[in-house]
Amino acid sequence: MNTIETDRLVLRNFRTEDAGDLFAYLHQPVANCFLSLKLEDIGSAEAETETRSKSDEYLAVCLKDTGKLIGDLFAIPEEDTWSVGWNFNPAFGGAGYASEAARALFDYLFTVKEARRLYAYAEDHNIASQRLCERLGMRKEGLFKEFVSFTTDARGAPIFENTLQYAILRKEWRT
């Protein structure tokens, strides 16, 4: 994918040297939806960055002034619709980086990739992600009750989570 620059960030493909920074936030994912990406050690982080470096679906979000990886975005095409999402190191939360990065990604997808529609999922307890969707102008399209399970209870039975779907159309983004 093309490198995208904002005032404070660079969005680019992953590089193998991003392993340490990726491990910093994926060794203990904050959101349950990223538990399947949990990295056990630096070796698994190196393998993950190698895999991501060969794909345009994941974008590394880096501070422009230092090059430090602080999070990632994903954009998965489904014809003219794209599934989008984000995962950031909580140590960099509250500074508006996720909004800045996602806004730049949305601009890119709507203008360069000519996306017609973008959608994102957020668990009903992930208020930060829901607020980001709303700041980006996405509308809540639905609530899926007991939609997916990322964890299990003490007996090993799946714990199902409620998931919200947000979306925005290109014509809505332009306005």
**Domain definitions of the chain by residue range:** 4-174
Q: Residue 34 pLDDT more than 80?
A: no
Q: How far apart are CA 83 and CA 16, in angstroms?
A: 25
In the CATH scheme, what is the homologous superfamily, with its name and number, of domain 4-174? Answer: Gcn5-related N-acetyltransferase (GNAT) (3.40.630.30)
The average confidence (pLDDT) of the chain is 92
The strand pairing partners of 117, in sequence order, are 81, 169
Q: In which band, very low, low, confident or very high, does the pLDDT at 85 lie, cut at 50, 70 and 90?
A: very high
Residue 133 structure tokens: 């969707």
pTM above 0.85? yes
Q: How much is the pLDDT for 33? A: 59
Contact 58, 19 (CB under 8 A): no
C-alpha torsion angle, residues 60, 143, 126, 6 (rounded to 10): 30
Would you state the torsion angle of the CA atoms of residues 4, 50, 15, 31, taken in this order, to the nearest 10 degrees? 60
DSSP 28: S
| DSSP tag of 35 | G
Task: Identify the weakest region by mean pLDDT among 4-8, 70-74, 135-139, 147-151.
Answer: 147-151
> What pLDDT score was predicted for residue 66?
96
Q: Which residue has the higher pLDDT, 156 or 106?
A: 106
Q: What is the pLDDT of residue 92?
A: 95
